[in-house]
Structure 1
Amino acid sequence: MGTKNILAYFHAPEEAQAMADRLKGMGAEEVSVDTFSLTPGEAVDGTVNPLTGEVTSLAGLTLDTPVSSRSTGILLAAHPSASGMSDGGEGEPSGRNIVLTAIVPDGIHQQALKQIEEAGGLV
């Protein structure tokens, strides 16, 4: 029997974990719950001094965000909130930033999708 992959997005980690436990009980082979955010990577320790030119990126100054690499700094500087030309967008993503990943047998795939949607997940 084959397997199918599922990616589902939730508002809260508790919702996703409850669904992960349910999928394991149904016979899912692999299930994981992770969080993603607007600012990836680990924080960089260091003093930012705009007068001396020691600035990690525009995002470090305008979003008060620790930037872990040059590439991350460039990507974050492109965000509308970094330029000051937006309405704010305070804090972390306000939508579905919890992702449930599962590998399920073909036989339970449709049932699993239905239960995820009933639990408030977005497939």
Structure 2
Amino acid sequence: MRKESSTNTLNREKIQGDCGMAYTLDLIGGRWKPTILWRLLQGKQRYSELKKSIPSVSERILVLQLRELEKDGLINRLVYAEVPPRVEYELTSSGESLKPMLQVISDWGNVHRPRNTPD
């Protein structure tokens, strides 16, 4: 967590206030957020399903990223009063609205990703 008065934080807030792209990239940027959002585009998922579908992410990072996405209003966390407790995640309407953009980013990556082909 950075200090609110740090130059870095002030610059970030200024850029986000002036540039929609910077704001969007701040919300969905990072190693795991796009993958989490992509998985949730398929529908509501339990925590264990998300973890299984993204095996490389640590539990700590997955929980942190889910909390950030929830705080930013892109996903909902649904807790069911059961034993054992059941937790599911789903996209909010704001999260759903990211689908066309995420699809274009995915398509672009698939076209431009370096291929390991023999010479």
Would the TM-score normalized by the shorter structure come out above 0.5?
no
- TM-score (normalizing by structure 1): 0.25
Higher helix share: 2
User: If you compute each CA radius of gyration, which structure gives the higher value, 1 or 2?
Assistant: 1
Q: Which has the higher strand share?
A: 1
TM-score, length basis structure 2: 0.26
